[in-house]
Structure 1
Amino acid sequence: MAGTYKLYEYDPSTSAAVAFAVMFALSTAMHLVQVFRNKSWFFTPFVIGGCFELVGYVARYISAKQSPNWETMPYVIQELLLLVAPSLFAASIYMILGRVIRLLNGASNSPIRPSWLTKIFVTGDVVSFLMQSGGGGILATAKSESSMKTGNNVIIGGLIVQVISFSIFITVSVIFHRRMLASPMHMEVKSHIPWSRYMAVLYIGSALILIRSAYRVVEYVQGSTGYLQSKEPFVYIFDASLMLLCCILFNVFHPSKLLSKSIQNHEEREDLEMMNDTGYRNM
């Protein structure tokens, strides 16, 4: 791979890689504590995504220390893990809406049945994850320009699936939210369930991932010698910073706070079964 094209069009920053590795480590450690403390196992993919970000920036630091004689393995690790980590964040975010709908008994206000909602979007997320992983694998072993182009196109396809899925998800969320606000049911639950606040958190987290994914689409369309891939600050502005904000957002507004223990115990089983059905057990 190193002989086929230049791994980096710049000398990666060691200080930036270390800073983000440390911040992702702290946020992910907090998420791990929150998951175990609240037994919110549905948020496990989010924790794994945080671990991917952490390892990705550690690998990027190793690459930075090797400049300009970069080895292939650290580059591949950071490129692949940073690429697919948001798919794991998305999997947990998708589950939040289904849980909110069931918590509020608001199925009649949802455009998609709660029993199908999470399954549909997580399945789309799994497809995006596998496409991005597969494309990254093709790039990692590419021996020709044709193979590199194939891997690049597969990654772009996976990112587009993610953008479309998130766009539909946000649309469904907004429709449900507006219907709930217009429903008499809203007056019955607003005093003791801060569900509207968590809908806002869901929108913010979704928007962060959507913006990051759109950036990655443009980046891969431009190719390895394009403007975005030739300037390191873009990686930290439109990927690292946005994903760190997403992690911190759900540290502060952890969705387990939204649920009672009785509801949580019932829904954990359903979410775990759903994740197994869609393939995350084999990840």
Structure 2
Amino acid sequence: MSNQTGSDDLYVGCKAYNGTDTSYGYIPSGAAGSAFCVLFGVSMVAHIVQFCWKRTWWCSVFAVGCFVELLGWAARKWSADCPYNSTAFLIQISTLIIAPVFFTAGIYILLGRYIQIFGKETSFLTPKLYLWIFCTCDVISLVIQAAGGGIASSESDDPNGNTDPGTNTMVAGIVFQLISISVFVYCGTDFFLRIKRFGQLKMFTRGPLAALTSAMILSVVCIYIRSIYRTIELAQGWTGYLITHESYFIGLDGVMMIIAVGVFNVCHPGWLLPSKAEISLPQYQKTSTNSDVEMG
């Protein structure tokens, strides 16, 4: 994970850059660290205000994810000032690798809410079973990635340590997350095909549901891109091309994640997600070609 040349105390405290390789393979950008701290901080505060105002407590997962991202980018800002500090390096690894799990949890819950509103016939899984399965997958992914990070971190403290087992474990956790997202996409596609069959698809092509569904799709795409990038990055190893070039990390992790969570500040479920009772109101029913469909 790092080239620990010289004394181990080089990697504690705040040492100025002296030409020795850092654990990153570069000196992290302080400007990028500050910018993403601000962006995720603003998104976190906005999410807290929004879910408290609308009492959509399940949306707190977005705020938690923002907080974890904030910690990670703060650690990278710390590394910009103290490039050899091992604590800052390990904090950003552990936080930024697991933060998206909270965003996917929110997206899974959102589709579950769709199923609750439009009826159990719109899914081959019940809403409760649906949430249990995918949230459990998130927890499993989180545990695997955290375990891998812990193994790699402990090995990195030893100049002769082997970080490969920890790295491979982290890759396994990300791949597992990627698979669970892929299954989610399948379930989401099945939901909308059933909605179309029941004559309710027009509700999702205009108005609040169109905006919220578009936000969900955009968020999933961003998380997908990030997961593919992190899989390839870690598979290349700690000295690979992607992991030692910060521009890829900023663009394919930082930017993707702020879009993935920030889009729900703009299209917040508390404002746009109707209740089951509201679906029967004229403004929703007039968009449907079949208002006699049983809503469950």
Q: TM-score, normalised by structure 1?
A: 0.85
Distance 2:115 2:191 in 1: 8
Aligned to 2:149: 136
Following superposition, the deviation at residue 11 of structure 1 comes to 1.3
- Specify the alignment match of 1:249 in structure 2: 263
* 1:203 Cα deviation after fit: 1.5
**Given the alignment, which residue of 135, 151, 158 partners 2:166?**
151
Question: Counterparts of 1:130-279 in structure 2 under 5 Å?
Answer: 130-142=143-155, 143=158, 147-186=162-201, 194-259=208-273
> Residue type of the partner of 1:228?
L
Residue identity opposite 1:76 in structure 2: L
Alpha-carbon distance in structure 1 between the residues aligned to 2:123 and 2:146:
32
The change in CA–CA distance for 1:223 and 1:178 in structure 2 (over 3 A counts) is: same
Residue 51 of structure 1 corresponds to: 67
> For 2:160 and 2:107, how far apart are their aligned partners in 1?
37
Deviations 1:36-74 (A, max 9, x none): 11111112222111001111111101101113xx11101
1:77 aligns with 2:91: yes
- Residue identity matched to 1:137: G
Matched, 1:13 2:26: no
Paired residue secondary structure (2:163): helix
- Given that 1:134 and 1:154 are in contact with CA atoms closer than 8 Å, whether structure 2 keeps it comes out as yes
- The 2-side partners of 1:191 and 1:178 are apart by 14
For 1:84-105, what per-residue CA distance to the aligned partner results, in whole angstroms no more than 9, with x for missing partners?
0001111111100010111122
Conserved? CA contact 1:170–1:203, under 8 Å:
no
CA gap of 1:183–1:152, structure 2 versus 1, over 3 A, is: same
Give unmatched runs, 5+ long, in structure 1. Answer: 264-283
Deviation at 1:260, TM superposition (A): 5.3
Residue 136 of structure 2 corresponds to which residue in structure 1?
Answer: 123
Distance in 2 (alpha carbons) for counterparts of 1:182 and 1:16: 47
Asked if the contact 2:171/2:235 (under 8 Å) is kept, the reply is: yes
Does the C-alpha gap of structure 1 residues 145 and 162 become closer, same or farther in structure 2, counting only changes over 3 Å? farther
CA distance 1:110–1:19, shift in 2 (3 Å): same
| Residues 242-274 of structure 1: CA deviation (Å, up to 9, x unaligned) | 0011121000011122345798xxxxxxxxxxx
Greater C-alpha Rg: 2
Equivalent of 1:86, from 66, 78, 100? 100
**Residue 190 and residue 222 in structure 1: after superposition, are their counterparts in 2 closer, same or farther (change >3 A)?**
closer
> Retained in 1: the 8 A contact 2:23–2:89?
yes
Deviations 1:141-185 (A, max 9, x none): 113766411110110000000000001101110111122022135
Q: How many residues align?
A: 260
Partner Cα separation in structure 2 for residue 242 and residue 73 of structure 1: 25
Which of 2, 18, 38 does residue 22 from structure 1 map onto?
38
Any conservation in 1 of the 2:145–2:173 contact (CA below 8 Å)? yes
**How far apart are the structure 2 equivalents of 1:219 and 1:185?**
42
| Equivalent pair of 1:201/1:253 in contact (CA under 8 Å) | yes
Q: SS of the residue aligned with 2:124?
A: coil
Query: What is the CA deviation profile of residues 187-234 of structure 1, one whole-angstrom value per residue up to 9, with x for unaligned ones?
Result: 7x6799843442222221111111101100000000011110110000
CA contact (8 A) 1:28 1:247 kept: no
When the two structures are superposed, what TM-score results if normalisation uses the length of structure 2?
A: 0.81
| Helix, strand or coil at the partner of 1:141 | helix
Percentage of pairs with the same residue:
32
What residue identity is the alignment partner of 1:41?
A: W
> Does the CA-based 8 Å contact 2:2-2:23 persist in structure 1?
yes
**Alignment RMSD:** 2.3
Q: SS state of the match for residue 51, structure 2?
A: helix
User: Cα distance 1:226–1:15, how it changes in 2: closer, same or farther (>3 A)?
Assistant: same
Q: Matches of 2:226 and 2:208 in 1, distance apart?
A: 28
Aligned position for 2:281:
none
Q: Cα distance 1:192–1:7, how it changes in 2: closer, same or farther (>3 A)? A: closer
1:101 has 2:115 as partner: yes
Task: Give the residue type in structure 1 aligned to 2:147.
Answer: G
Name the structure with the higher helix share.
1
**SS of 1:184's equivalent?**
coil
